[in-house]
Amino acid sequence: MIRVAVAGATGRMGSEVCRAVAADPELDLVAAVSRSAAGAALGDTIGLDGEAASVVLVEHLDEMLDAGIDVLVDFTGPAYAPDHVAWAIANGVHVVVGTTGFEIDEAWRDAPVGVVVAPNFAIGAVLLMRFAEQAARFLPSAEVIELHHDRKIDAPSGTALLTARRIAAARDGAPAAPTHDGEGPGARGVDVDGVRVHSVRLPGLVAHEEVVFGGQGQTLTLRHDSMDRTSFMPGVLLAIKAVPGRPGLTEGLEPLLGV
């Protein structure tokens, strides 16, 4: 049984992670962090039933040390995640990070514990990036459109940035499509290694990405849609179960999926 703690437990993603962990027979949700609801019971805060409902939310990570945590899952914000990873490493706790918008510390590669950092835990999104990487070898002109809910802080998203960089790397020196901002600066999106990335933030959205490739007389469109945050949970659970056996840094779900 893997003993799990969740940082950002009352957020939109964190609460789904708590429910998924609590429902998995191989995992035990033993601690949770929420700066906004510290002192409350997890069950009362997010409507969770079962043994995990009695977990009392704490404000600081150090308050969880007596819980005997094996894995910390972080869905907080870019201002907090790097410090949470450092805390986990210092305390011998494996960590799974779904927070985006921060730079990875290269020292994590040599960490004695497992550190899994993924910009997207939806398996379909991971496959989209892999397919885009393959398509870029044959259709090097591409643009990325990512759409998220209006509360997402970072833009472009971590998934879109990684997708663009993988497309650029797969081009093997092929030129990007000619483009410019013309008289509307910013209208062409942000340039990421020669790939234009466009961000949309609207209520009603969850997480969506579209990659459009252009070639002579043809286009190819790849699209992934997360209609509900539960779409990320299979990937999160996979990472929690795999991270104790992967010391050092693992970027993305691809190594865990074998793709």
**Residue 148 annotated in active site:** yes
Helix axes 233-242, 123-135, angle to 10 degrees: 90
Helix axes 123-135, 158-170, angle to 10 degrees: 30
Q: Which two tokens stand for residue 35?
A: 């700066």
If residue 45 lies in a helix (H) or strand (E), which one and from where to where? helix 42-46
Q: How far apart are CA 174 and CA 172, in angstroms?
A: 6
3-state secondary structure of 223: strand
**Residue 152 annotated in active site:** yes
Of the residues 148, 149, 198, 241, only one is catalytic, namely 148
- Residue identified by tokens 């397919």 is 131
Of the residues 149, 152, 198, 241, only one is catalytic, namely 152
DSSP conformational letter for 142: E
* Cβ–Cβ < 8 Å for 101, 250: no
Residue 27 φ/ψ, nearest 5 degrees: -125, 155
Would you please indicate which residues are annotated as catalytic (active-site) residues? 148, 152
